[in-house]
Amino acid sequence: MIIKSVIDTMSKRQSVRTYETQKITASHLNEINDYINDEHHLIGPFGKKGRIVMVQVTNNVTDKGIKLGTYGFIKNPSAYLVGITENNQDSLLDFAYTFQKLVLFLTELGIGTCWMGGTFSRNSFEKEIQIGESEFIPCITPIGYPNQKQRIFDKAVRLVVKADNKKPWDKLFYDTSFERALIKENAGLFEIPIEMVRLGPSASNKQPWRLVLSEDRKVCHFYIEHTPNYSAKLGYDMQLLDMGIAMCHFELACQELNISGYWGVEDPNINPLSGNTEYIVSWYLDR
Ligand SMILES: Cc1cc2nc3c(=O)[nH]c(=O)nc-3n(C[C@H](O)[C@H](O)[C@H](O)COP(=O)(O)O)c2cc1C
């Protein structure tokens, strides 16, 4: 048996926008269905539960005959996984945390994904799926086997959003206060979990997460640096999804490294980086 390292998976994952025409195999479809139908996989650290629905497509048309639109961003998807949750902070954080775990599970199976919050027609997906009064679709991902040969379009998207330019440590991570950048070698136990936050996907690759490691190295505070007006017209704060993804990467890396701890919300009242900085959550090392 091969034991996969999730740290390895997080390091290798990339958004995939062009897929092979080959359909996802029946056994992989079963594994995915089992995963998304298991309640434990749908609840995040704040205790909120979302839903994930799989819709298979042929030439982007569903079995019900509905054409699902991605404005040409995605080629040859075998299916879509559609996320559904409520529009409040805890639900969005939890949804993203659980959806990223699913993305990593799929990556380990050799299945490609691409988080999509903007470049798809919500209308067409809402025609396909029953959505409750208080629910909405924050994000979807196409799934399929990655085509090794990226389209020119994929390369262009990666170039435009600078997908391969992940911000360096000194722009994201801080030591004790926002006045001092955190030096990788000084992060102690948390070096790899913090590095995994840095490698996570984020909407338009804005990387809004900012972390402050406490002086005693026992607490890591998570802040969001909002990009002004980023997703205002969508009616929800898409960058909160980036924060849920960061929590997922951080926690899974800790788990693999046997670093035990827990999430809590207690604002340490550290002077913010800017007017757009907001405290979200902290991770406490078990004593
Ligand atoms: C919340 C969220 C929303 C995203 N929305 C879109 C989208 O609408 N269209 C798209 O092509 N990519 C979208 N992406 C993918 C990002 O552009 C991508 O994660 C980023 O450029 C970094 O590249 P990587 O995922 O290959 O590391 C989204 C990612 C996240 C996390």
Per-residue confidence (pLDDT) for residue 233, from 0 to 100:
87
For ligand 1, atom 5, the nearest C-alpha belongs to 116
Domains defined along the chain, listed by start:
6-154 (3.40.109.10), 169-285 (3.40.109.30)
Q: What is the pTM of this model?
A: 0.97
Which of 92, 101, 113, 116 to mutate for ligand 1's pocket (most ligand atoms within 8 Å of CB)? 116
Q: How far apart are the first and last CA of the chain?
A: 34
pLDDT for position 63 = 94
Q: Is the CB of 118 under 6 A from ligand 1?
A: yes
Residues 6+ apart with CB under 8 A from 83: 50, 51, 52, 95, 99, 137, 138, 139, 140
Q: For position 3, what pLDDT does the model report?
A: 73
Cα(265) to ligand 1 centroid in Å equals: 27
- The H or E element spanning position 107 is helix 89-108
Split the chain (287 residues) into runs of 10 and give each run's mean pLDDT: 86 96 97 97 98 96 94 95 98 98 98 96 94 96 95 92 94 98 96 98 98 97 96 92 98 97 97 96 94
Q: How far is the CA of 116 from the centre of ligand 1 (A)?
A: 6
Atom 18 of ligand 1, nearest CA residue: 201
CA-nearest of 200, 175, 183 to 253 is 200
Element (H, E) at 285: strand 277-285
Instruction: List Cβ neighbours of 120 (8 Å cut-off, separation of 6 or more).
Output: 68, 69, 70, 71, 73, 140
Residue 121: CB atoms within 10 A of its CB come to: 13
Q: Which DSSP state fits 144?
A: B
- Coil/strand/helix, residue 220: strand
Q: What is the pLDDT of residue 135?
A: 97
